[in-house]
Structure 1
């Protein structure tokens, strides 16, 4: 990074944050603190209104804004692919805004950069897993939930769990305080404080029906940060499988959510998975037919055997 690029990067970082320490800038850009001090002084002498507070850091004078900068081909491609992703995965409002943003980005590019960016994008394509990208009902719920999060209003919906609980129930009505939305392996997940469970729970939008906005308001806890949030892992059941060697590539590509470890040995591919309930793996294991053997636990081996015997009776 040359001096000009460093000056620009420092101003952009100051513009992005309220206060930045010289030590943090030095760590971010890989230079000494002394170099950052000299850069700050040079920027101030050049007319950039930087305010320094001893023991606190540097900030830009309120109202100062750096004019738009030019993009490299790689930066432009990154931004435009980002708009493609948002258009595919977000709700209608953001889909429209992604299209508008793409038009603005393309409009400010230099002709040579725009042409090269177009050429690069033709050689790259953003694909999904093959299923329909965010179904219309899920898009509708995504928009409603996003607005409820910003307005700090509770929502209510009917929810269908993948597996029945101990009482045999799969369906329930939930009232929750929505904290955030997370895209997990192509599926939108709501992180919310559930009134029924009195704890944070996760809900797939694809399993929701009859979602309604409520007038009840909530306040996001000061300690909750979605970017730093890590759900507790209660997958305490360990399952060990052995696959035939010729299935190794397909097993790896399946990228099962519950996989914890994979090891190739002389007698096959060993896969360790960890689940909450053994039934979470039943259909997946059966789909591999005779190409997989359940080694542990014995109870799951018996469950697979019982299911195969039921299938034999049908034929």
Structure 2
């Protein structure tokens, strides 16, 4: 009981302070409040170790924390549970100072959550819950619950800002034929997030199609990022041969975090996507750029040209109005399935004028499709 009360006193002391406190300052406070007796230097060192053990427990019982170099402590240890929001920061010399996470303090003062923050939490809970790490969701559960209460109160009061209505008035929608998102195991996504944060390799068991149904393959990978291509989610990684590989999250059957690290300082997921590495090429040996010239018929009340001007294919695109009935789109592109399907989706309104190789791509699909209906 004495240990329990002393640890509560440490949390109360840190909660009432706005600056980090050293272990020695915490010891002095406990002595002043009668939780530890004042003593000579030898006895003081023993009491200091008691306080260190208390802090270690409050931090999440992180093994070896006080034995490791603070700069290297996170390299070898699992992420602590840290149920009390305790943070350790460098102090003068080689010491450490302690404070409670400022965000964690808000859990005890929910009634002051403003409406704009409540709607931000509500949007996060609604649209990102299936993408956030489980540990993050666990930490934010109380925020989500209070946000919902704030929104409900704003509705009952008929407040000028109806944040609850705003939350319910924003949805994601897939353009074209919508597809259901497949279920995936959040445990594997959590492990992938840990591996990305720590730059650690993983062992991944993946379901692949086979002639007699399906089977699994095991890969050793360096995970680089997660890409949302709704309704699909992909893991982007490097295999042991240094080749980029993509894996659908819903086909992952198991992920194990390995101890080996990898270097990814030069990798940019955004640059990787901009370079077209997630595109599917019609001819994998032909990844060159082509100057596409596309004639589009204009119709009364048509929004296609306006949409193309507002949402260009890429930065090289230009649109010229040739007449009241036709516009010409010029843009530098690659021969991808995505481009071909987009042109086909325009139907008879679009005609590829150049280059001939992309004209042939469209012609081949249309000819084969027509044969299916003859």
Length-normalised TM-score, structure 1: 0.57
**Shift of residue 173, structure 1, vs aligned partner:** 7.1
For residues 259 and 222 of structure 1, do their structure 2 counterparts lie closer, same or farther at Cα, with a shift above 3 Å needed? closer
5+ long unaligned stretches in structure 2 = 1-17, 21-91, 209-216, 277-286
In structure 2, relative to structure 1, the CA distance for the partners of 1:104 and 1:139 (3 Å cut) is same
Tell me whether 1:243 sits opposite 2:296 in the alignment. Answer: yes
Q: Which residue of 2 aligns with 1:3?
A: none
| 1:121 is aligned to 2:168 | no
Q: What displacement does 1:294 show?
A: 1.0
Q: CA deviation at 1:111?
A: 5.3
Q: 1:114 to 1:202 in 2, by over 3 A?
A: farther
For 2:8, the equivalent position in structure 1 comes to none
- 1:231-289 per-residue CA deviation (whole Å, 9 max, x = no partner) reads 27256323332322236438938x999644252513225152522x3444333322322
Tell me which residue corresponds to 1:218: 260
Q: Which residue of 1 aligns with 2:239?
A: 194
Larger Rg: 2
Partner of 1:155: 203
- 1:63 maps to which of 86, 99, 113: 99
**Alignment deviations for residues 29-71 of structure 1 (CA, whole Å, 9 cap, x no partner):** xxxxxxxxxxxxxxxxxxxxxxxx9xxxxxxx74276553734
- RMSD, matched Cα: 4.7
Q: How many angstroms apart in 2 are the aligned matches of 1:233 and 1:159?
A: 28
The count of corresponding residues between Structure 1 and Structure 2 is 246
Structure 1 residue corresponding to 2:225, chosen from 180, 186, 194 = 180
Quickly say closer, same or farther: Cα 1:64–1:136, change in 2 above 3 A.
closer
Distance change in 2, residues 1:243/1:138 (3 Å) = farther
Q: Does 1:75 align with 2:123?
A: no
SS of alignment partner, residue 154 of structure 1: strand
Describe the SS at the equivalent of 2:341.
helix
Partners in 2 of 1:114 and 1:237 — Cα distance? 58
Question: What residue is the counterpart of 2:307 in the other structure?
Answer: 252
